[in-house]
């Protein structure tokens, strides 16, 4: 136990984490994939070969062109460049993720904290509510809600946000229910700390790794379910380039014009895979139990 400065220690801890992360090649690949998707989405207008094909654009004389150098992914039924639309499609997917998780995670975490910490009727009410939401597939519920609100991208995001909190609530609830018996929580109580302090300063920081791993994994699944919704026609509406919608409208032209469906599908797969590899890597790194 040599004497070191706290900063050097901290640095060492970060290096150690990165070292452990790096030893998991899958996680590194996942990180790279996620970063790639983010970069491509952010700089979409610069990256996409035909950015104008994304909005109101049709060229029916060029419909269903097979993949070529000009159109690496081919063109769709309105003669639009599929690659460009995929690239812009990532914007939609990521917006979906950010919106849904941005709303659902804080809300779910808060409920989970309250239920786990207070127990009693607070727990009963919150956890039974999550049971109700659990009893029905997210996709089905999202379908029902989206259809009820009329199918638009915003509505499907709202529907998913309305459903997603319960997973985080459950996770945080179990985590907190076991953490609250930790002696450090009791120690804080003995010191006179308020519930607020205990919830947000003592318990929440200990949920961060669980939350971040779960959120990373969820990002993939939000995209998955979002794609499912738009596959059924309840997501973003044309001409917005949504990946799920592209797969489903491309499916009308299978098998001859397979590229219209396959490339957007692979693009979805790519993101979800990226988020999952990253999430799995983080889970190993932070050594937490999710699920």
Partner 1 sequence: MSGNLLELNQLSKRFPVRKGLFQRVVGHVNAVDGVDLTIGRGEIVGLAGESGSGKSTVARMIVGLLTPTEGTVTFDGEDVSKQLGTLAFKRRVQMVFQNPGSSLNPRRSVADALKVPLRVHGVPSSTWAERIRSLLEMVELPATFAQKYPHELSGGQKQRVAIARALAVQPELIVLDEPTSALDVSVQAKVIELLLRIRDELDLAYLFISHDLSLMRNFSDRVGVMYLGKLAEMGTSDDLFLRPQHPYTQGLLASIPVVSEAEEALKPTQRHLKGEIPSPANVPSGCRFRTRCPHAFDACREVAPTFHELSATHASRCHLHDPALAGSAEPTKA
Partner 2 sequence: MNTVQIFGTIDPAKVTDYTEYMAAANLYDGLVDVDETGAIVPLLADSWEVSDDAKQFTFTLKDGATFHDGSPVEASDVVYSVRRLLTIDQGPSYLVRDVLDVDGVQALDNNTVQFTLSEIFSPFLTTVPLMFVVNEEVVEANAVDGDWGQEYLNNNAAGAGPYMLDSWTRGSSMTVKRYEDWHMGWHAEAIDQVRWLVTNDEATVRSLAAAGDLHMTSQYQSNETYDALANSGNFRVVEEPTATGFTLKLNTKVAPTDDVHVRRAIACAMDYETIREFIFPSDPMAGPLPPSFGDAVLDTIEVAEYDLDCAREEMAQSKYAGQDNIPISHLYVANTPFEEEIALMFDAVFTELGFDVTLMAEPWNLITEMATDVNQTPNVNQIFFGPTYPSADSMLFTQYHSDAAGTWASMEWLQDEQVDSLIDQARRTADVSEQNELYQQAQARIMELQPNAFLGLQTVRHAMDNCLEGFRYVPMQSFDYNFSNYSWTCN
Partner 3 sequence: MPDDAPLLSVRDLRVSFRTFDGQADVLQGVNLDVPRGTRVGLVGESGCGKSVTMKTIMGTLATPPARVTHGQIMFDGQDLLTMPAARRNRLKGTDMSMVFQDPTTSLNPVFRVGHQMEDIVRWSDRRRGIQRNHKARKARVLEVLEMVRLADGERIYDAFPIQLSGGMRQRIIIGMALLNEPRLLIADEPGTALDVTTQDEILRLMDDLVREEGLSLLMITHNLGVVRQMTDHVYVMYAGSVVEDSPTAELFDNPSHPYTKALLACVPKLDGTATYEGIGGSLPDYTDPPAGCRFHPRCPHATDRCLTRPPAFTVRPGHTAACWLHEPEAHA
Q: Could you say which of 16, 201, 252, 254 contacts partner 1 (CB under 8 A)?
A: 201
Should residue 151 be labelled a site residue for partner 2 when binding is judged by CB under 8 A? yes
The answer to whether 61 and 67 are in contact (CB under 8 A) is no
User: Which one, 80 or 170, has the nearer CB to partner 2?
Assistant: 80
Q: Which range binds partner 3 by CB under 8 A, 15-23, 57-65, 122-130, 238-246?
A: 15-23
DSSP β-bridge partners for residue 75: 81
Q: Which is nearer to partner 1, 7 or 61 (CB)?
A: 7
Residues 159 and 145 sit within 8 Å (Cβ to Cβ): yes
Q: Which residues pair with 256 in a beta bridge?
A: none
CB under 8 Å to 66, separation ≥6 — which residues?
Answer: 74, 257, 259
Whether residue 255 is preceded by a cis peptide bond, meaning omega within 30 degrees of 0, is yes
Q: Which does 67 bind (CB under 5 to 8 A by kind): partner 1, partner 3, partner 2, none?
A: none
Cα separation, 286 vs 175, in Å, equals 14
Instruction: Work out how close the CB of 2 gets to partner 3 at its nearest, in angstroms, rounded to a whole number.
Output: 8
What residues contact residue 121 under an 8 Å CB cut-off, 6+ apart? none
Binding of residue 8 to partner 3 (CB under 8 A): no
Q: State yes or no: residue 63 binds partner 2 (CB under 8 A).
A: yes
Binder among 68, 124, 150, 194 for partner 2 (CB under 8 A): 150
Show the binding pattern over residues 4-33: x = contacts partner 1 (CB under 8 A), - = does not. -xx--x------------------------
Q: Does 50 bind partner 2 (CB under 8 A)?
A: no
**Residue 57 binding partner per list partner 3, partner 1, partner 2, none, with a CB distance cut-off of 5 to 8 Å that depends on partner kind:** partner 2
Is 150 exposed, middle or buried, given 0-12, 13-18 or 19+ CB atoms closer than 10 A?
A: exposed
Q: Does residue 18 belong to the site contacting partner 3 (CB under 8 A)?
A: no
Q: Among 239, 253, 236, 245, which Cα is nearest to 77's? A: 253
Please count the CA atoms within 13 angstroms of the CA of 170 that sit on its side-chain side.
Answer: 15
What is the rounded CA–CA span in Å between residue 250 and residue 259? 8
Question: Tokens in use for 182?
Answer: 């930790």
From the CB of 234, what's the least distance to partner 2, in Å?
9
User: In sequence order, which residues have a C-beta less than 8 Å from that of residue 80 and are 6 or more positions away?
Assistant: 50, 53, 54, 57, 58, 59
Q: How far is the CB of 209 from partner 3 (least distance, A)?
A: 18
Q: Which segment (39-47, 81-89, 100-108, 204-212) binds partner 1 by CB under 8 A?
A: 204-212
The burial class, CB within 10 Å (0-12 / 13-18 / 19+), for 7 is exposed
Residue 139 touches which member of partner 2, partner 1, partner 3, none, C-beta under 5-8 Å by kind: none
Q: Is 51 in the site for partner 2 (CB under 8 A)?
A: no
Name the site residues for partner 2 (rule: CB under 8 A): 55-58, 60-61, 63, 77-78, 150-151, 233, 237-239, 249, 251-257
Residues lying near partner 3 in the complex (CB under 8 A) are found at 1, 16, 19-20
Q: Which residues bind partner 1 (CB under 8 A)?
A: 1, 3, 5-6, 9, 182-184, 186-194, 197, 201-202, 205-206, 208
């Amino acid at each position: 136990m040599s004497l070191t400065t706290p900063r050097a220690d901290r640095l060492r801890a970060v290096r150690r984490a990165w070292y452990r992360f790096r030893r998991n090649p899958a996680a590194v690949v996942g990180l790279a994939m996620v970063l790639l998707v983010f970069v491509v989405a952010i700089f979409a207008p610069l990256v996409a070969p035909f950015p104008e094909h994304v909005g109101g654009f049709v060229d029916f004389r060029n419909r269903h062109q097979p993949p070529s150098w000009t159109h690496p992914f081919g063109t769709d039924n309105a003669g639009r460049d599929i690659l460009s639309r995929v690239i812009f499609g990532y914007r939609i997917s990521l917006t979906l993720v950010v919106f849904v998780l941005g709303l659902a995670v804080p809300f779910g975490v808060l409920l989970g904290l309250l239920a786990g910490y207070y127990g009693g009727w607070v727990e009963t009410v919150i956890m039974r509510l999550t049971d109700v939401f659990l009893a029905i597939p997210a996709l089905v519920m999202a379908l029902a809600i989206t259809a009820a609100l009329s199918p638009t991208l915003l509505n499907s995001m709202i529907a998913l946000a309305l459903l997603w909190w319960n997973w985080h609530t459950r996770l945080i609830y179990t985590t907190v229910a076991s953490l609250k018996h930790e002696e450090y929580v009791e120690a804080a109580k003995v010191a006179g700390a308020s519930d607020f302090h205990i919830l947000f300063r003592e318990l929440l920081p200990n949920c961060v790794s669980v939350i971040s791993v779960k959120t990373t994994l969820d990002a993939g699944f939000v995209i998955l379910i979002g794609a499912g919704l738009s596959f059924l026609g309840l997501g973003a509406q044309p001409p917005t380039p949504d990946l799920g919608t592209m797969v489903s409208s491309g499916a009308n032209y299978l098998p001859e014009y397979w590229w219209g469906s396959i490339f957007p599908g692979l693009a979805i797969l790519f993101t979800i895979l990226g988020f999952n590899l990253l999430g799995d890597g983080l889970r190993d790194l932070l050594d937490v139990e999710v699920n």
